[in-house]
Amino acid sequence: MSNEHSGHHHHHAPVSISGIFILCIALNLLFVAIETAVGFMSNSVGLLSDAGHNLSDVFSLLIALLAIKMASKKANMKFTYGYKKTTVLASLLNAVILLVAVGAIIVESISRINHPQAVSGAAISWTAGAGIIINGFTAWLLMRDQDKDLNVKGAFLHMAMDTLVSAGVVVSGIMINFTDILWIDPAVSLVIAAIILVSTFNMLRESLYLSIDAVPASADMDRISAGLSEMQGVESWHHIHVWAISTTENAATVHLVLSDLSDMENIKARTRALFHSAGVDHCTIECESAGTQCASLHCS
């Protein structure tokens, strides 16, 4: 029996991501400060509440940045995979925070439908416009890498949500000025919340699955299964496990039953290539002869 570790092509989040997160945090802290100041000057509880919500977004960005930094730390004798799993925990926490934020929007929107309130003055509209620019720019910075890492996706969704909320405030404000229909504002917020809820639920589900070592969505199990079954020299296979080391790296183990152990190295090379093409970076392969007891029992 032989062990083989492979997958030297580590797909860490790009180094530039850390810089992008730091810039996003700085921009959003600046916006929170401006929004808080305008809220106090205009005596607007709404703006102060939104400033608190944006501060929670800064907290989420910090969590994601911390996870990315932790993932880059080297493995040791206590944490043999390093601290990469923290990226999964961070994405799960951010998904929960995002759901709470969406829930707050829904509760506030329903309250305003039952108790309509006039849209605030020009200062608040200009502040919402500034929110579109800052949050929109932040979301644009994160958009490119959102499909590569759940933490980046979570941060992107936070910023996209804030951009849509700010846009909704501006659009509904303009419509109310022309129609005097006050429920337009909360109605637009409910539509925005519903859109975000769908994306957030998907991220929450994937984060939860990864936290309990389910097969990552980026790993193609059908391709792996078909490739192993069709591979020449492989009589059968069992003990296959695929899990996420982090939000960007996957690992696997598999036992191969070979008809001829002399061809083992060639088969292992082909197996590594198969797993890599199916989205698995690290693969441990164990080979055994077709005549072993375990092979005859088809262990799984």
Q: Report which listed range, 105-114, 134-143, 168-177, 212-221, is most confident.
A: 212-221
Q: What is the pLDDT of residues 165-221, one digit of tens each?
A: 777 767 766 776 677 777 776 777 777 777 778 777 887 888 899 999 999 988 999
- N-terminal to C-terminal alpha carbon distance within the chain: 16
Helix (H) or strand (E) holding 122: helix 122-143
Name which of 55, 86, 56 is nearest 69 in CA terms. Answer: 86
What's domain 12-211's superfamily in CATH?
Cation efflux protein transmembrane domain (1.20.1510.10)
Instruction: Give 282's strand partners.
Output: 251
pLDDT, mean over the chain: 80
Domain ranges of the chain: 12-211, 216-297
Architecture category of domain 216-297 in CATH: 2-Layer Sandwich (3.30)
pLDDT in tens, 215-248: 998 899 999 999 999 999 999 999 999 999 988 8
Closest CA to 160 of 146, 148, 174, 150: 146
How many Å apart are CA 300 and CA 253, to the nearest integer? Answer: 12
Closest to 47 in 3D by CA, of 39, 37, 55: 39
Centroid of chain to Cα 125? 31
